[in-house]
Each structure stands twice: as structure tokens, then as C-alpha cells.
Structure 1
Amino acid sequence: MTGPGRSGGRAVLETLRAWGVRRVFTCPGSTEAAFLDATLDHPDFEVILTPHESIAVSAADGYARATGEPAVAYLHTHVGLANSLGHLNAARLAHSPVVVLTGLKPALLQAHGGFTCIQDTGRLAEPYVRSYWQSLRTEGIPEDLTRAFRLALTEPAGPTWLGLSQDLMNDTCTAPVPDPERFRPRARTAPDPERIREVAGMLATATSPLLVAGAEVARHDAVADLIALAERLGVPVMNEDRRTYERPGFPTSHPNYVGLYDVKRPVVGDSDLIVFAGCRLFTEFEVPRGPDVPESARVVHIHTDAAEIGAIHGVDLDIVADEGLALSGLLAGLPEGDVAVRTDRVAEARTEYLADTGPLPPETEGVENVAAVADALAAVVDDQTTVVGDATTTGAILLRRLPQNPPHQYFTSSSGSLGWAMGAAIGIKLAMPDRHVVAVLGDGAFQFGPQGLWVAARYQIPVTYVVINNESYAAVAAALRRYGGTAVERQEFPGKDLSGIDVAAIARGYGVHAQRLHHASELGEAMAKAKAHPGPSLIEIMTDPDYLGP
């Protein structure tokens, strides 16, 4: 509808609906009144209320990752936007098309430094978004929002931000909604044919090549092409380094899969050619003690985002392209007839990967071992289960032991923003209602997002939360252990103790079915009860508080 009486808030709703958006995740205030009022005339449009902005953004992020389509979080002024920035960074790293709308006070109040006003609110979002803009007039709102959607979807995709002041939202808007089909990006970056031919030749003649799959392979539906390429060449394949891992680019069940990328692994060290497809190279956690790529290997890096190539490590050949087009091009570009097939090398690397359990937690009498918990979880994760990981200390064990088959069996965050999974699991479940969604968190991560339990309970979203409770911020103690000072001498770790929190009781307080376990052997039965429950469930399992991780 256009004409007198149509508010800017209603124009926002019409634009969202035109883009196929049928729900918004919001933690609103007074500045969102015109929009919220407009939703009453559209009962098919769902307003998902969240008690904290971080849940709104992580839920939108989860939905966008699972669907590849834009998802909308609507926040209130700069105070709400500030509360969301940690999880907005997670969306940035995942190239997740999240559109963040923020209601602002009227322009006059902004000029006067009024309540919940700061200069240029969008600057808060700037480091985390592809674009930020504040609408300057009511008539420009439909066009501004259309632009936010277009840029969120344009590769390299990622979040965008639009500020909407209360006076514009309340005013009359006669501007029509632009046709989304004329603004939706459909272009895919094609690789340079000469570079494709060169890399195909390198793969065909290399003695010991290695393929490494990043999250972008899954995001661009290129998994099947990578599998075909690996099988044709008979080469080992790894998923990207844990520090940048966001979702699997290659199925862990495939016989060519040989683990997560780690320069210390023999299969990496003896490679003469490494092709990184859709990976970030690399996110450094601490000052590196050596190179992440063996000096003897030639390096090819394929990525949609040219800025990712050569960001830290130089490469021998770069391909800026959609990973699907690049990998299918490599497959087609292999020489006709036989190419060198290295089945013995694949078998050797796979055997080494399966035999390497990694650093195992010590067995301590009277407390459960996190490795046993990971094994128990692996036993209940089937092809219809999606795991949303957010466990710091046990994250490496979970990635080693849980099945991770693209595109939808495993999602996690490489941002370090704790509590992300509390909301992301909600968005993922809404996007994929036929899958069993299990969010696996540490007790420390849980403390950053318990408000997500209220959302799951309020809307009866059947997510299963599994909280591995070691009653500590073990990562803090692990850092003190690496530092090797007085804390290690005295075995006293300030900042570690998180005991005394009954997570299951908190969940029940939010209206969530909850169980507290002390043994991994109880997990199978507890998970069956959780799946049978019609709404959300939480399983808390107590583990060794003295285990600080590998």
C-alpha cells in the first residue's frame, strides 16, 4: 500500500515481505513502535521477541547460515546495538547475510545528545558490516533497506546495518518498494581459465598434493565438486584449521578425509602442493612459533573474497572465484585419461588420523571425562542431527570425535564470542524444522546467553541444549598454565572458578525441560527424552573441573 497514512514503519515491513522475510528477531524499545504496530495487520509475519540483543543477532545469524538467505535482527538505539556486536562479528566471519536494523531517537534528540543518543550510531557496527547507513528521509527508507539486502547478499556476503530514526518511521512514506528481483545479486565470480588450467596441471602432476576445504566450499554448494575432484585424483582432504573452522567443507565420513588442517601432521609436512579452497589462512591465536604452511609446498588459494588471499601467507597461485565454479573448473580441466592416483597416501593418512586420539584428558576418579562425553554425543548424532558448537575447552575434542558432514550437520563460530550458540541454534532450528538441533556449550559460554532459553520456551522451539559443566573458565587457567608463573607454582588460578551454578535449575526457571547428569553413560537416555519432549530441552552434564584442555 502507498499513499497518505502509510508510515515509514509500514514501508519497512512491506520491504521485508517483498524480500521474502517472514520473521524478525528483535529486542525492541520505544523507537520501534511504528514497525511493531504495522505487523499486527500481517499475522503471517512473525515477531520473535528476544530478551537480549545478542540473542536476536545470533538467531538471525543461525537462520542466515542455514538458509543462505537474509535474516533480520531489529535492535534499539546504540545501547542495543552495542550489546550485539560480539555476535555480529561472528556473522561477519561466516559471511552470513544478516541485516541489522536499529531504531534511533528522532533527529532533533540526536542533535541534542538526547537519551540513548550518540553521534553516528552506525560507527559502532562499521568494523563488522559490509555497509552502514542511516536513512535521511522517510521516502528513502524502502530504497535504503533494499540496498542493505543487496549488499548483504553480494559476494563476499556479510552483515549490513541500517539506522531508522523514530521520526522517519512515524512519518508518512509514499515511496514504492523496489522490486527485489531487480536488485537481488545473481552474479558469480568466474575463475581465470588460464589459472584453472595451470592448477589442474599442477594437481595432475604433483607427487603428494593435499586439498583443504573451508567453510566457503559448503556455503557455495561446492562440496560435491570437491568430493569428485578428490576421488578423481585419489588425494587426501582436510577441513580447515580449527581457528577458522565454521562449518565442514568436506564430509568427515568420506574415506579421503584425514582430519583438520594442522601443519604438524605428517600428511601436511610431506605435501608438495596444497590447494586451500574457501579457507581463511589463518586466524592467529597467539604469536606463531613457526609457519602454518610447510616451506616445501607450493600453495594455491581459492577464495571468493580477494582480500583473504595473501592476507598473512603468500601463495604461489591465487584464484579469486566462486568456489563451486573454481572446483568444477579444476575437475573439468584435469587431463583426459589417467592421472596419478595416490590411494596408498590417502590410506596412510587416514589410518594416522583415525589412530591419533589427540591429547586425552586424564582419568580422574569420581568425575566424568570430557572425552567420554564427546564419545557419548557422537553416538547420538545421526544424519538428521545438526550440532551447534560453542564449547571452548572441549571444542577440539568435539571436532575430532563428532561427525561433521556438510552442509548442515555442524555449525560453530570462530569469533570467540561466547554464548553464540544459544541464539544461533534457535535460528537454525527455525530454518530447518525437520532436523534435530543440538547446541553443545560449555558452562562458561552458557552464562553469556541464557536469555535464549526464554525464546525457545516462549515459542516452543524444540532445540536441545547440552551444557558441559566443568564449573570453571578453564581457558583462563590454561592461559595461566602457558604463562608459567606463580599460578602454576601454587596451582591457584584466579579467574577460573565458576562453581555453584545449577544450569539445569536455571533452565527450568525459564520453562525449559532440564536434566542434570553425572555420567556420560546417561546421555543416550537423556537425549531420547529430550527428543521426545515437544519443546526445548537442556541436558547439563558435570565434568572434571581440573581439566584445562589440551
Structure 2
Amino acid sequence: MTGSDKQGEGSSPSTRATVRDVVIELVRELGMTSIFANPGSTELPMFRDFPADFRYVLGLQEAAVVGMADGYAQATGNAALVNLHSAAGVGNAMGNIFTAFKNQTPLVITAGQQARSILPFDPFLSAAQAVELPKPYVKWAIEPARAQDVPRALERAYHIAMQEPRGPVFVSIPVDDWDQPAESHERATVSNSVRPDPQALAKLGAALDASRTPALVVGAGVDRAGAWKEVVQLAERHNARVFVAPMSARCSFPEDHRLFAGFLPAMREKIVSLLDGHDVIFVLGAPAFSYHVEGTGPHVPPGAALYQLIDDPNVAAWTPAGAAVVGNVRLGVLDLLARAAPGARPLPEPRPKPPRAEPSPVMSVAFALQTLAELRDPNDVVVEEAPSSRPVMQRYLPFTKSSTFFTMASGGLGYGMPAAVGVALALPNSRVIGLIGDGSSMYSIQAIYSAVQMRLPITFVILNNQRYAALQEFAPVFGFASDDPVQGTDLPGLDFVSLAQGMGCKGLRVTDAAELAEKLKEALEAGEPRLVEVVVA
């Protein structure tokens, strides 16, 4: 029985609408008809009489399920519906739930719960404290008090997930709730964006107008808010150099633009050094700043004023200096653009171009990514999870269009491969490239199976350096000598071509730099899932 079959008040018990009927109709109205899931016993009644206009997206492990939903939600801009299996499934998924929280991805996560009548007896596959399990990395969590409250709880969850700052929410649903009678209810409409305070923006705008050497620092919130074009206009109006915030998970400014100045590292002293000489620093859609290691000294250069426009009041609350304005990034930038144009400023010095990477007996990461950059179309979408290669990527693989780059804001692995599947599912007319490290790929490599089953145009490029390179390169920060081995960081013996073929995906291994361009081109043009393992130094 679907939502269209539900009966009004006064119907006989056998034909009256059930919780499942009302939920199906609600989910349809909210545009969440793709359900990302791995099946479990306590969720089966949710999917009985599955509607023909819905799509069940199967992931072979719960982490892959959430990663796919994350990529899909980011690419569509709407919340994605996830179904997990009780406490065990939520536990498996927690790494990517944490990443979705850091990515500010709107996800409505449901999990099955045992029947209410046997919950007092601690039954098999129950969740003793279902609501507490995903905290603190969901915005809201509930197990409704009655079966009849499930539809309204899901609607509330959707609105909370979509309100800025966006993020995942969680609803635990007992297995016997789905067949209980329920009454339909009228869906509410909620505005999800808040305009920043005009007086605070006026002060920010005045500081920008009076600045001699302004700098913008952009983060994922710019792209998330759809403010790419407006931020470019703002930078050009002020002739401001534009940096990317540390650990930003999306591309928020064209990296071939005359004003683009590069990427800030997650280290306090280096941030201050790179921003030195700017008298006003304006951070948009990002924390000010994300650090990875302990640092000392000021957070901004002496004499510089820091301003921030951010959609997350929690982030604004810990900003260590300056003035933060909370609200939707695009609406705030539009208000700044509505001000009278400031006086002309000279153009800053352009960012120097990196030297060309040349072929070598064992390919460098720079050569591999330079080759990929020359082959990909600017509209191709790259989903990256190769942490040790990211600094090289930032020099040799530029992104010039909105919503063409995604990575994880959490630092947790296992996101990239399934997220690439979700992005490809959301953007059926785009080619997607999953740029993944060899170590990262093994966290959610089951995503290849989902890509094959749905025949998605994804090219998985595995950069294989046979190690957790990021850890080895980071070790000196924690006192390791140059010749001191870092335990557990070598990864010999992995055969990614065989792993791909075992899930039905054609794959090949490239060790010769002279063959790389041809093999990558063939994979990108295949129109189906392909894996290219590139052996790099």
C-alpha cells in the first residue's frame, strides 16, 4: 500500500493508512526517493510494497551507504535518506556520519529498532540507547514515543537537517511501527537560510572599503551556499587576493583566476606568514582557522583585522579574534555587493605557476596529477581522498568551476570512493573521477560494487605508493628521526586491479609514465566504472 492508497477518517481498520503509507508520501514530497541502505531484519517492513518511483541504493557496508548518501546530498543540495540496521549498522557507519557532520551534509538517517513490546527484555539486535549512539555527530536524534509520531518526527528531522548549518539527523524506528494506523498531516514549509545582521555587515563592508591590502579566505561554505559567482565578483571589486581555508572540503573559487593566491595550511604560524601584509582578512564560509598541530603566537598578522561570515554560530563562537557575522554566506555577500563600489586598488602579484612535472622511472604524484589535469574536462567532478597527495594536487590539478571538487572535512578515511558513487548518481550527465590513495581505498572499497551495479561513469584513480604516506611524512612533527620507522604504515602486496575485477569492474595498472595519458583517456571515455591503479613514488 502506498501513500496514494491511504483512506480518510472513518475507514475500516483494514484499509486505513499506516505509518508506512504516510511516511512514503512524505518522503516523496520531500524529494528523498533515493534510499541509501544496507538491509537488515528490523528495517524490512519499511520496504514492503516498495513504490515504483523510489530507488533503493544498495551499499555493501554501512560506511559505504552513508558515504554514497553524503556525495548524493552534496551534489543535489537536498537531504538524502539513509537506512541503517539497528545499533550494529549505526556503529559501522559512525566514521562517515562524523564526516557528514563535518561536511555539513544534510542526511536523514533512520535505523531499525526491535519491536516495542519486547524492548524491556533487551532483545537481540536492539539498540539499548538508540538516540545516544550517534551523538554528538548528529544535529538531532529521536526515537518517537508512539508509532503515530514517526511521520512528524521524520518531517522535523528533514527541516533540521536542511537548516544552516546543515548536517545529519537520526531517527530510530521500532520494527512494529510501520504497520500501525496513522493519520496524514499537512507538511510545513520552512525557510532554511538566515540573512546576516545588516549593521554587522555594514561594519564589515566599511572595513573592506577602507582596506589597502584586503585578502579573502574562502571555505566550503561558499560553494555549499551557491555563492561562487558572488564571491568572484566581491574579490574583483576589491582586487583582493583569495586564499583557500585550511582543510576546505570543496572548491570555492576558480583556481586559475588572476586573484587566486593558493591554499592555507592547517598550521598557525604558516597561516600568519602567508597572510602577512594584508590589513583586512575576510574569511567566508570557513572557520578562522582550522589547525592540525599545536602552534603559538597570534592567529592573524600584527596590525591585521579579521572578519568572518559563517553560517554556523558554533564556529563563530570560538573564532579567536576579530568580528564574526552569522548567516547565509550568499545573502551576506549579496548585501556587501549592494554597497557603493570602493576606490580602485592595484592588482596584487599573481601566484607563481609550478614547474612542469617530468616523467621519471617511477612516476611522481605531480606527473600523474598533471597528466590527469590535461585530460579531464573542467566540468568533470573529482572526489578526492588521497591526503598525502593533496598538497601536490593543489598545485597540479586546478579546479575552475563550482561543485567540481569534494573531499572529507573530517580527516576520516572511507568517504571518497562511496561519495564518488553518490555524486555520479546525482549528476547523471557528468563524468566523475574518484582520486583515492591506496590506503584510503581499503576503507570502503565495496563502493566499486555499487558503481558497477548502477553502471555509473566513474573512473577510480588509485595512487599507489604502497604506504600510509601522510603518516610517514607527518612523523617528524612528533619527534621521529628521519631514519626512525613508523610502525604499521607500509602497505605492500595490494592488487587493486584484482579487487576491482572481483566486483565486476575493469581495471588496469600503470607503471610506465609514457602509457599513463592513453590509459587514463581510455578509462575516462569508457562511460562505465573503470579503475586505474597508478604506481607512484
What range describes the TM-score normalised by the shorter chain of this pair?
A: over 0.9
**Helix, strand or coil at the partner of 1:270:** coil
TM-score with structure 1 length normalisation?
0.90
Q: Report the counterpart of residue 351 of structure 2 in structure 1.
A: 351
**Helix, strand or coil at the partner of 1:127:** coil
Q: Report the counterpart of residue 257 of structure 2 in structure 1.
A: 254
Does the CA-based 8 Å contact 1:143-1:178 persist in structure 2? Answer: no
**Helix, strand or coil at the partner of 1:148:** helix
Does the CA-based 8 Å contact 2:458-2:527 persist in structure 1? Answer: no
Return closer, same or farther for 1:356/1:293 CA change in 2, 3 Å cut-off.
Answer: farther
CA distance in 2, matches of 1:356, 1:293: 30
Structure 1 stretches lacking a partner, 5+ long:
545-550
1:341 equivalent in alignment to 2:345: yes
1:439 equivalent in alignment to 2:434: yes
Q: Report the counterpart of residue 547 of structure 1 in structure 2.
A: none
String of CA shifts for 1:304-336, please: whole Å, max 9, x gaps: 112211414222x2211211111111121235x
Q: Report the counterpart of residue 299 of structure 1 in structure 2.
A: 306
CA distance in 2, matches of 1:240, 1:197: 24
Q: Shift in Å at residue 209 of structure 1?
A: 0.9
CA distance in 2, matches of 1:310, 1:17: 37
Amino acid corresponding to residue 255 of structure 1 in structure 2? R
Return closer, same or farther for 1:166/1:368 CA change in 2, 3 Å cut-off.
Answer: same
Return closer, same or farther for 1:340/1:448 CA change in 2, 3 Å cut-off.
Answer: same
CA distance in 2, matches of 1:403, 1:420: 21
Q: 245-254 or 363-372: which moved more?
A: 363-372
Q: Shift in Å at residue 366 of structure 1?
A: 3.9
Q: Report the counterpart of residue 497 of structure 1 in structure 2.
A: 490
Q: 49-58 or 13-22: which moved more?
A: 13-22
Amino acid corresponding to residue 282 of structure 1 in structure 2? F
Q: 2:325 aligns with which of 310, 316, 319?
A: 319
Matches within 5 A, 1:105-144: 105-144=114-153
Amino acid corresponding to residue 283 of structure 1 in structure 2? S
Q: Report the counterpart of residue 231 of structure 1 in structure 2.
A: 236
String of CA shifts for 1:439-463, please: whole Å, max 9, x gaps: 1000100100111011111121221
String of CA shifts for 1:450-488, please: whole Å, max 9, x gaps: 110111111212211110011111233234343344x64
Q: Report the counterpart of residue 216 of structure 1 in structure 2.
A: 221
Return closer, same or farther for 1:508/1:431 CA change in 2, 3 Å cut-off.
Answer: same
TM-score with structure 2 length normalisation?
0.92
Q: 1:428 aligns with which of 423, 432, 450?
A: 423
Q: Report the counterpart of residue 168 of structure 1 in structure 2.
A: 177
Q: CA RMSD in A?
A: 2.1
Q: Shift in Å at residue 95 of structure 1?
A: 1.4
1:395 equivalent in alignment to 2:379: no
Amino acid corresponding to residue 502 of structure 1 in structure 2? D
**Helix, strand or coil at the partner of 1:351:** coil
**Helix, strand or coil at the partner of 2:460:** strand
CA distance in 2, matches of 1:519, 1:282: 41
CA distance in 1, matches of 2:354, 2:277: 19
1:21 equivalent in alignment to 2:32: yes
Q: Shift in Å at residue 237 of structure 1?
A: 1.2
String of CA shifts for 1:102-152, please: whole Å, max 9, x gaps: 011112433222212232112121211110001222211111111111111
Q: Report the counterpart of residue 167 of structure 2 in structure 1.
A: 158
Q: Report the counterpart of residue 178 of structure 1 in structure 2.
A: 186
CA distance in 2, matches of 1:351, 1:117: 57
1:455 equivalent in alignment to 2:450: yes
Count of aligned residue pairs for this structure pair: 522
Does the CA-based 8 Å contact 1:388-1:421 persist in structure 2? Answer: yes
**Helix, strand or coil at the partner of 2:318:** coil
1:104 equivalent in alignment to 2:107: no
Q: Report the counterpart of residue 408 of structure 1 in structure 2.
A: 403
CA distance in 2, matches of 1:110, 1:400: 56
**Helix, strand or coil at the partner of 1:247:** coil
String of CA shifts for 1:196-226, please: whole Å, max 9, x gaps: 2222221122111111111111111112111
Q: Shift in Å at residue 529 of structure 1?
A: 1.8
**Helix, strand or coil at the partner of 1:216:** helix
Q: Report the counterpart of residue 509 of structure 2 in structure 1.
A: 516
CA distance in 2, matches of 1:116, 1:432: 36
Structure 2 stretches lacking a partner, 5+ long:
8-12
Matches within 5 A, 1:69-88: 69-88=78-97
Does the CA-based 8 Å contact 1:204-1:340 persist in structure 2? Answer: no
Return closer, same or farther for 1:15/1:463 CA change in 2, 3 Å cut-off.
Answer: same
